A and B are shown apart, each in its own frame.
Chain A
Amino acid sequence: MIKFKLKSSPKATFLLAIILKAFSVNAQSIGSDLGSLHGNYELDAQYYRPDSLIGAPKVPEKVLSNAFCNLIYQKGKLSAGMRYEAYNNVMQGFDPRYKGQGIVNRYVRYQDKLLDVTVGNIYEQFGSGLLFRTYYQPGLLYDNSLDGFRVISSPYKGLTFKGLIGRQRSFFSLGPGIVRAFDGEANLNDLLDSLINPIKTKIVVGGSFVSKYQSNLDPTVLKPLNVGAYGGRVNITHEGFNFYGEYGYKENDPGADNFATANGKNYYSYKPGEAIFLSSSYAVNGFAVLLQAKRIDNFAFRSDRDATLQNLLINYLPVTTKQHTYLMPAYTPYATQPRGEVGGMVEFQYKIKKGSALGGKYGTNITVNLSMVNGLNKIGVNDSTTTSYLYTAPYNQIGTPYYHDFFIEIEKKFNKKWKGTFMYANQFYNKNIIQFGTPNAGFRNMTSNIGVVDITYKYKSNSAVRFEVQAALKDNTDTLNLGSWTTAMVEWTPNTHWFVALLDQYNYGNPLNKLDLVKVNNNIGLSNVFGESLYHYFLLSVGYTTGPHRISISYGKQRAGIFCVGGVCRNVPASNGLSISITSTF
């Protein structure tokens, strides 16, 4: 029955479309019966001017652009969608393998009470994603959708099963490996209704099995063709208390993610992978505490053992450090090290009550956050007779520091016109590990003290001016950790439609002269240069928004950096020029 539906539905809707065309004069009044078509698009384009002072490269095309458009058709239990993407050519800072244009995503889905079936490109996540997550983040060009088949079924109240099979998107084609994924989840309160519900505790448990198959064309190295990974999770809540825990185990999976060279020989790790993610919180009105911990050991999981960067990842390893919104603290973000790390975070939030001496008329919000990540203490055993390396990583020992971040923020509304945010952060950043994945990349660790003051003055009911001052003082001035920064910004929103913003980022305390920086750029290559310079980076932006449509134009210099959204990061080189961005939902 379901199969029949799936095969016939696109045809049926196509016929429907023809009929609708005939009645298009009346389409408005009968629109809801014929289903709805909606979508969104985004166009980003930039005109690049080379600027050797800030390390902005010469772009032969002069103009580069990224664009996409999603369309979704929905009628009752049936939905279908597609996405067109175009890169002419892909903008700076993205993987150049995004080249050309085409339809990269299309699916048909039929949702019934018993069965929910999708064919085509699928986004799915099991638990927190430790074992399986296919995800779409256009801002980072992150798309590892599974092109295949998915069935979701809830045969009994409180039980949900998911099964998927397919291959993952890799730029404009598919990866070489086949992914098979199965997940079961039980909501114990629904399942054991009368037994559990008198107590206020809610419990959800789940388990997953994910396996990949990839042939091995390299006869000299033994690599398993099938690699399985499995794990379990539990979520318990009781009034203000919340606990989530997940554990994952992966069979040995030698590949680019655990590759090493020593004494001129190549080694792969055949150690099974392990991952633990714990998140716990207690929250009542006006007070909350969050506690997270994570341990990762050899847990990158891809449908192509030779893939690198963000390509063909099957799973997601959440970062357990503070996700910053302001520019300066966000310039040196942490990225999960799948080869091994152990870390944790604690955050307190408190709202000083309205009407108290410190709270004032509107109350005051205070957030304090501390996060730390260290490497594992790996005790290695290299076997010179084979291509494998083995190690142990005791649970009760930790390795070298990778990152820490101490953060305090105060948000305060003074009166109807004025409000402000005050922030301080102290960050430690192990550049060798975080940016190059090896302790021997040749850089020193970096410590920054960062302050932000953000003041909004609302001078009319719909008009405001916002001022932002940020400073990042760095403790060392290694060749590529270039000095300290101060940022100032003024943003004016005269009404709901328009905004104008002027940003200046100033780099100082920098030991390099101009020529040295050019030399550094040429020697290291652009991907490794983070664009710091001796000068001001002015950037003027103007934007217009109406309903779900938005257009913005910027002109000036942009500092290079690492931009992270939704847990994945990309390096963006410095640039100088004119850029335009249009987004719309329809």
Chain B
Amino acid sequence: MNIELPPLVALLLFPGGLFLLSAGTVYEWADRKLVARFQNRIGPRWFQPVADVVKLLAKEEIVPDGVNPVLFHGLPVVALVGTLTAALYVPMAGIAPSYSFTGDLIVTLYLLSLMTLSMGLAGANTLDRFSLIGATRALTQLFSYEAPFLMALLGPAIAAGSWQISQVDAYAQGHWWLVLTQPVGFLVALVGLMGKLELPPFDSPEAETEIVAGPMTEYSGRGWALFRIGRDVELLVGLTLMAAFYLGGLANPIEFMLKTGGLLLVTAALQSLFCRLRIDQTVGMWWRIGILLALAQLFLLVFMR
């Protein structure tokens, strides 16, 4: 679906700004609800993420001793801005991307990494020992999943012969679902997305049973709220990207809802199936198995073309 929107509307209302914030909270609720149902619980009410964010925004923000206040207040904003900007280059809600140019796939991936990078720096900025351990773990994990994730998303791009998200999306709509022709790449990308979002098998950076809350330990109120919204938007953008590349593209809003919803169901199931990996197991898994699978598929694609 191709709709021309005035730039201000695209940035503030749809598909940027307000739509992203509200859709992000809806997806966070769906994720929590699904995990709760898998655990035989009833789960949170539909407005729960909104209530959490509003409450956190209205809370006191404590700036701990020994931090750089500019970084402390700036990093949550950078994280949120990065994910919000990344959403402009993906076919959000099945509508063609608002902005598109050659190579925007790489830019989008960098913008999505900005979130993890900001969280790592935010943890390293405070003097708290739990934040520091969480920050090292977050950055270590960033370096382990980023390369396989990028390679897994390059698979469809090579098949389509373009590094432009809208063109890969168009290619995916006109061909077989790429999850059938490139199943290995889909698997690597899906697990990579879960690593990117620090969902349960890969949540050692914020392991609440060992290091309190990881990089977020010293954040209260507004900063933490912004990081939470950023995480929600990243979830939305990541699911959109995956559905556009591997699940036959996103032609209209209904397809968007069905495909991202299906992906969310799979990630929620994986979240409740597996327990947390240690950080060395995470890194080992990515560099021993993930990168090899992604490389093998990439070579196959390059030589088969």
- B is a partner of A: no
Chain A residues packing against B (C-beta within 8 Å): none
